[in-house]
A = this chain, B = another copy of it.
Amino acid sequence: MIETATLWWDKGTQSIRYIDQTLLPEKYAIVECRSIGRLATAIKRLEIRGAPALGVAGAFGIALAARVCEKNDINAFFGDVQQDAEILLATRPTAINLGWGIARVLSKIAHVQDINSIRRIALAEAEAIASEDTACCHMIGEHGAALLPDTCTVLTHCNAGSLACSSWGTALGVIRSAVNRGKQVNVIACETRPLLQGSRLTAWELIRDGIDVTVITDSSAAHMMRTGTIDAVVVGADRITRDAVFNKIGTYMHAVCARYHNIPFYVAAPLSTFDTQKSERDVIIEERGREEVTTMGCRVYVPDAAVVKNYAFDATPMNLVTAIITEQGVLHPPITIDSILSFKSTK
């Protein structure tokens, strides 16, 4: 399998480079990003997406902010960097990792007084976050692979793969690690409306790695569960509160249907995705523009006069989760605030 990064720091040009995920699978294009404005646009437009990748993007974003700021006064310098951090933070409200990556780099530089040192430390911390993310995904993969049968068909939703992380992936990391162990894994990728991250990204990266993948419409999943095709569901997460898993819209539907058919429903996510301070009701579910639902390619499919609701995420309550696969190991039910915190503290 090819272990490629989705987002990295280019030392030559001192800029962020990333794969533009809106163009796949038709076009594989690397974007060079030299400003916070461009990075914010990339995150809003989902050129960069996926919870762990957003953490890495936030971290490199602060490194970029420190790189491009031309102020010499340290207070003015921190003022600019803080403003850039807020621009990035405002791009997407639901995934926690973006804010986590930003905060981790900011805290590392908070008491540094020399601007060149700040730049060096911010970049080093961002690089560390990216490396740790890759290591996390491999550990998640190992823990999760043990849960899958030797021959199985696994349903996944959206893209929790190498494109959503620094590399390897969370849900797809579990699948990659299982395949590496010699297991026969067939993946059912739900296309994931409205933006089709399943058909565009998950199918693309699994094919690149030679893993069998079948694309279905999201609403076919329950039918395939009923007919006995699906052995397990594995998804990623954008934020895990003490009582619920927030992930791409449609995840909850799969969780309900998996429970109805007695199929295990696994969530694969690094501990940085956990937000134990909050419960479900504290989290805003991002609603995105109607054009994502109404328009595809060159055609409009919804009459102008119709209302459109475009929820980007949903919440799956803990009681529907069979296990959460983290880099520290597998959290089994009852998944409570105490069991989550005991894992976090071992980190």
Contacts and interface: CB of A to CB of B under 8 A. Distances in A.
B199 A219 contact: no
A191 B301 contact: yes
Contacts of A314: 220, 222-223, 226
A223 B311 contact: yes
Contact of A193 (B217, B256, B309): B217
Nearest to A297: B297
A193 B214 contact: no
A76 interface: no
Interface stretch (A10-18, A54-62, A247-255): A247-255
Interface in A269-324: 293-294, 296-303, 305-311, 314-315
A244 to B, nearest CB: 10
B217 A194 contact: yes
Nearest to A257: B256
A239 to B, nearest CB: 15
A218 B305 CA distance: 19
B25 A213 contact: no
A204 interface: yes
A143 interface: no
Given A215-B307, A302-B215, A309-B214, A296 B297 contact: yes
Contacts of A216: 293, 308-311
Contacts of A301: 25, 191, 196, 199-200
A303 to B, nearest CB: 4
A301 B190 CA distance: 12
A214 B290 CA distance: 11
A227 to B, nearest CB: 9
Given A25-B300, A223-B314, 13 more contacts: A25-B301, A26-B300, A199-B301, A199-B306, A203-B303, A214-B306, A215-B302, A215-B308, A217-B250, A222-B252, A222-B253, A256-B260, A297-B299
Interface of A: 25-26, 189-194, 196, 199-200, 203-204, 207, 212-224, 226, 249-250, 252-253, 256-257, 259-260, 293-294, 296-303, 305-311, 314-315
Q: Ordered nearest first, which 8 A-B pairs have the shortest CB separation?
A: A297-B297, A219-B250, A222-B253, A223-B314, A296-B296, A297-B299, A193-B217, A203-B306
